[in-house]
Amino acid sequence: MTALQTIVAEPWDDYGLVDSGNGRKLERYGPYSFIRPEPQAMWAPAEDFWTANGEFIGASDDDGGGRWHLDRDVPHKGWHMKWEDIRFTALCTPFRHLGFFPDMAPQWNWMRERVQPDDEILNLFGYTGVGTLALAAKGARMVHVDASKKSVEAGRANAFLADMADRPIRWIIDDAAKFTAREVRRERRYDGIFLDPPKFGRGPNGEIWRLEEHLPALIADCRSLLDEKSRFLVLTVYAVRMSALAIGELLRQAMADLGGTVEVGEMAVREEARGLLLPTAIFARWTR
Q: Which helix (H) or strand (E) holds 262?
A: strand 261-270
Model pLDDT, residue 105: 98
At 2 the pLDDT is 64
Q: Average pLDDT, whole number, for the chain?
A: 95
pLDDT at 62: 56
Strands 54-58 and 32-37: parallel
Look at residue 104 in the predicted model and tell me its pLDDT.
Answer: 98
Confidence of residue 288 (pLDDT cuts 50, 70, 90): confident
Model confidence pLDDT, tens digit, residues 3-21: 799 999 999 999 999 999 9
Q: Which among 84, 105, 140, 151 is positioned nearest to 283, based on CA atoms?
A: 105
- pLDDT, tens digit, 9 for 90 and up, residues 56-72: 998 865 556 899 999 99
Number of domains in the chain: 1
Averaged pLDDT for residues 228-254:
93
Nearest to 173 by CA among 201, 197, 144, 202: 144
Note the pLDDT tens digit of each residue in 102-158: 999 999 999 999 999 999 999 999 999 999 999 999 999 999 999 999 999 999 999
Q: In whole angstroms, what is the distance from residue 199 CA to residue 184 CA?
A: 24
96: helix, coil or strand? Answer: coil
| Cα separations in angstroms, 10 against 40, 103, 233, 275 | 18, 8, 23, 10
pLDDT at 64: 64
The pLDDT score that the predictor gives to residue 201 is: 82
Which pLDDT score is estimated for 252?
96
200 band by pLDDT with thresholds 50, 70 and 90 = confident
Helix intervals (H) in 9-164 = 105-114, 130-136, 149-161
Helix (H) or strand (E) holding 225: none
Indicate the pLDDT class of residue 1, thresholds 50, 70 and 90: low
Q: Residue 169: its pLDDT value, please?
A: 98
The CATH number covering residue 14 comes to: 3.40.50.150
Q: What percent of the chain has pLDDT over 70?
A: 98
From CA 278, how far away is CA 40, in angstroms rounded?
7
- Domain with 205, as residue range(s), is 5-287
